[in-house]
Amino acid sequence: AQRVTQPEKLLSVFKGAPVELKCNYSYSGSPELFWYVQYSRQRLQLLLRHISRESIKGFTADLNKGETSFHLKKPFAQEEDSAMYYCALRKAGANNLFFGTGTRLTVIP
């Protein structure tokens, strides 16, 4: 069975500091991994997906199959990054996503 683990429920960093939100997964096949973000009073939205290998709002995430991780990183946190972040996995051939429990990031001015 698949599983997505986000070990930190809460994470606080100072503005300008690096930030890393951890995500580990368990799945025997080839997964697709995503990060979704929910800003205050806004709907949940896609931040980035591993196959795109893109940087969005300064965030990057690399799929490490050896460590089964997909950590989200940003070198310099901004106040507007404060939000709830969810890691999600889609199994090969599936339509639905499995979400982690989320990490609430607070960037302290």
Partner 1 sequence: DVKVTQSSRYLVKRTGEKVFLECVQDMDHENMFWYRQDPGLGLRLIYFSYDVKMKEKGDIPEGYSVSREKKERFSLILESASTNQTSMYLCASRVMGLAGGSNEQFFGPGTRLTVL
Interface contacts to partner 1, rule CB under 8 A: 6, 9, 32, 34, 43-46, 49, 51-52, 86, 90-102
Say whether 30 sits in a helix, a strand or coil.
Answer: coil
Strand pairing class (10-14; 103-108): parallel
Q: Which is nearer to partner 1, 54 or 75 (CB)?
A: 54
Nearer to partner 1, 55 or 76 (CB): 55
The residue among 79, 82, 107, 88 whose CA lies nearest residue 27 is 88
Q: Is the Cβ of residue 3 or residue 18 nearer to partner 1 in the bound state?
A: 3
Identify which of residues 68 and 102 has a Cβ nearer to partner 1 in the complex.
102
Least separation in angstroms between CB 74 and partner 1:
21
Q: Residue 13 CB, nearest distance to partner 1 (Å)?
A: 21
CB of 38 to partner 1, least distance (A): 9
Cα torsion 44, 64, 101, 39 to 10°: value is -30
Cα distances (Å, whole numbers) of residue 9 to 6, 42, 70: 7, 19, 16
